Amino acid sequence: MSFLLNDYTKAILYFEEAVKNNPGHAEAYAFMGSCKSQLGRYQEAVEAHKQAIRIKPDYAFAHYGLGLAHLVLGDKSSALERYKILKLMNQEMADDLFNLIYR
């Protein structure tokens, strides 16, 4: 898979096709968001992660990715909100995000 080979542009195309065929595919949106972050397309990453969360509100990976994208965009407050949500879902991811926010 392109995502695993660091071909993020190609992976985004696959994930876009996946959500076109299955608009309820939260994982595809979240991985698309991660790929967009890797390419520096952080605002697009925010939107993809938000869509994943709309579909699957308890999807920790999407909350983490959203927090990272917010952080890179300079929105520490929104990243901290993701941290608070993650604490209830996945303590390890929450701790990692917290450390990134306050390093």
Region of residue 75 (phi > 0: left; psi between -120 and 50: alpha; otherwise: beta): beta
So where are the chain's domains?
8-101
Domain 8-101 classification at class level: mainly alpha
The pLDDT tens digits for 47-102 are 999 999 999 999 999 999 999 999 999 999 999 999 999 999 999 999 999 999 99
pTM score of the predicted model: 0.92
Instruction: Take residue 25 and report the two structure tokens written for it.
Output: 């595919």
Those residues whose C-beta lies under 8 Å from the C-beta of residue 88, and which sit 6 or more positions away, are: none
**pLDDT 10s digits, 35-57:** 999 999 999 999 999 999 999 99
